[in-house]
Structure 1
Amino acid sequence: MATMMDYIQEEQATLVKILQGFVPKKEEKRAAIENLLILATGSSANACLAAKYAMEKLAQITVTIEEPYHFNHYGHLSKEVETVLAVSQSGKSASTIDAVAQLSKQDIYTIGLSSDPESPLAQKVNESIDLGTGIETVGFVTKGYVATVLQLYLMGVSIGYSKGILSDDQVSMIKNQLEEMIEAIPQVIAKTIDFFEKNASIFKLANRFVAVGYGPNWGTAKEFETKFTETIRVPSQGFELEAYMHGPYLEANHEHVLFFIEAPSPNQSRAQLLHDYLASHVGKAYTITTAAAKNPDTLGLDVACEETFSSLLLVIPFQIFSYLGAAAKGIDLRKRIFDDFDQVLKSKI
């Protein structure tokens, strides 16, 4: 039976294949996109949030992310939106499929991104994109998450190229940067496992985890929240930097473990100030950064990358922490719980 760690170990090969297969073309449908609505929930929504900044920067478009169930029942489709992208790794998310079905009645172009080209979602959209991962049998998705982030980056490149914003040379430079980052994944995995082993007792005893991120790593913080809640199964929450400073910090106490997610940015100094202020008020304050580590409480990936793409790598430590942290707390992730949930709640088709 495959485990989360098995799929994490496959991430590099999967991303290399996706990147090597990407050949930008001038496409009218891509060039027409100015306002893109993305429908996604769960880890798919987190991946979209992590990639939103890159997509907007590369393509000079506006990206809006909505929860499909809420949008379908309470939302309003802006007249400015020309294209809707529905993201569901399984392609079976009932709320996403229902929302697309309603949108198909309107004159709007729909794209689906899923791991199954024959999925119910793929059958509902005008254009289906294969995520490129195959079916991930472990419910706590990892490989599919990073593949979604990369595919969205590349969609941003495709739109920018089709608009004439990005030249052939610029596309090559972006692909080279992503390639170098992907090559570093084994190093990231090794560093994370070593860091966890040195801090395993903290993960085992903690009963509240919080992650704080900024820019694209707001999405990373939200995926931390999803993964820790699913696997370690204690209260865990991910916040955008400024949002955390407007109230949630008041709950901080010595039973809490905080993660500060850092990438090169003008906001890095503000995050550091928050870290320094709270470090003495919580049980432990860790920093997860793309830079090299400066102290034992920092997991430094030591990978050169700009903030735009940093979320592709910075999520991997949290995937590993989720898997190893569950084991440290004596949780057997192979043992399924709430087996009848999807059947009773009809959340998947």
Structure 2
Amino acid sequence: MSIVGFGINYPTAREGTLKILETMQIPVMNFDMEEFMHGPHRTIVNHSYLIMVETKGAGEVLMKNLIHFAKSKTENHLIISTLQEANQQTIHIGEYPMTSSWLNIVVIFQVICTYLPEINGMNSSDPIYGDFVTTAGTRIA
């Protein structure tokens, strides 16, 4: 899976990637939109998954072009947008200029990561490696 954002929403895409990785325990990559256009776009194939964060800003036209292209290559796409109306593959977020809506977009990732593991029969609290925390020293035992 790839998650693509631009401007203030590139860090939003990074946060969404971390949440999906933590809860779904699947490989996820995140990219700034311009970076994605220079190679990682080759990962858009029929069975790939792509989440695109579309908002107003300097990358708006390129993101529209990416969305148009992605729609022609895979049905497995989700658009989180302040510009498009909601439909089966688009979640509409209201435009809030003071925050560029990034906070509300992060909430969408939180909601996705609450429901998808349960729908897929996963308990994301179950560690994959029980000895990771103690071996790596990431938490006090």
TM-score, shorter chain, exceeding 0.5: yes
Q: Deviations over 1:203-252 (max 9, x none)?
A: xxxxxx21110011111111121111111122211111000011011122
Note the 1:304-315 alignment, pairs <5 A: 304-306=95-97, 308-315=99-106
Q: How many residues are aligned here? A: 140
Q: Are the counterparts in 1 of residues 133 and 139 from structure 2 also a CA contact under 8 Å? A: yes
Higher relative contact order (CA 8 A, sep 6+): 2
The alpha-carbon deviation at position 312 of structure 1 amounts to: 1.2
Q: Are the counterparts in 2 of residues 290 and 314 from structure 1 also a CA contact under 8 Å? A: no
The match for 2:91 among 292, 299, 304 is 299
Is the partner of 1:279 in helix, strand or coil? helix
Gaps of 5+ in 2: none
- 1:335 — aligned with what? 126
Query: Is 1:325 aligned to residue 116 of structure 2?
Result: yes
Aligned-partner Cα distance in 1 for 2:86–2:64: 13
| Structure with more of its chain in helix, by fraction | 1
Q: 1:294 and 1:344, CA in 2 relative to 1: closer, same or farther beyond 3 A?
A: closer
Aligned-partner Cα distance in 1 for 2:95–2:118: 31
Q: 1:307 and 1:274, CA in 2 relative to 1: closer, same or farther beyond 3 A?
A: farther
Q: 1:307 and 1:252, CA in 2 relative to 1: closer, same or farther beyond 3 A?
A: farther
Q: Tell me the TM-score normalized by structure 2.
A: 0.87
Is the partner of 1:212 in helix, strand or coil? strand
Is the partner of 1:280 in helix, strand or coil? helix
- 2:30 — aligned with what? 238
Is the partner of 1:261 in helix, strand or coil? strand
Aligned-partner Cα distance in 2 for 1:272–1:221: 16
- Write the letter of the residue equivalent to 2:134: Q
- Write the letter of the residue equivalent to 2:74: V
The alpha-carbon deviation at position 294 of structure 1 amounts to: 5.1
The alpha-carbon deviation at position 323 of structure 1 amounts to: 1.9
Aligned-partner Cα distance in 2 for 1:268–1:344: 45
Q: Tell me the TM-score normalized by structure 1.
A: 0.37
The match for 2:8 among 191, 204, 216 is 216
Q: Deviations over 1:51-75 (max 9, x none)?
A: xxxxxxxxxxxxxxxxxxxxxxxxx
Aligned-partner Cα distance in 2 for 1:319–1:342: 24
Aligned-partner Cα distance in 2 for 1:331–1:287: 24
- 1:266 — aligned with what? 58
RMSD across aligned C-alpha pairs, in angstroms? 2.0
Between structure 1 and structure 2, the one with the greater Rg is: 1
Q: Deviations over 1:236-272 (max 9, x none)?
A: 1111100001101112211112111022213112101
Q: Are the counterparts in 1 of residues 95 and 101 from structure 2 also a CA contact under 8 Å? A: no
Note the 1:48-127 alignment, pairs <5 A: none
Q: Are the counterparts in 2 of residues 263 and 307 from structure 1 also a CA contact under 8 Å? A: no
The alpha-carbon deviation at position 317 of structure 1 amounts to: 1.0
Q: Deviations over 1:149-181 (max 9, x none)?
A: xxxxxxxxxxxxxxxxxxxxxxxxxxxxxxxxx
Query: Is 1:287 aligned to residue 75 of structure 2?
Result: no
- Write the letter of the residue equivalent to 1:285: H
Gaps of 5+ in 1: 1-208
Aligned-partner Cα distance in 2 for 1:234–1:294: 26
Aligned-partner Cα distance in 2 for 1:321–1:284: 15
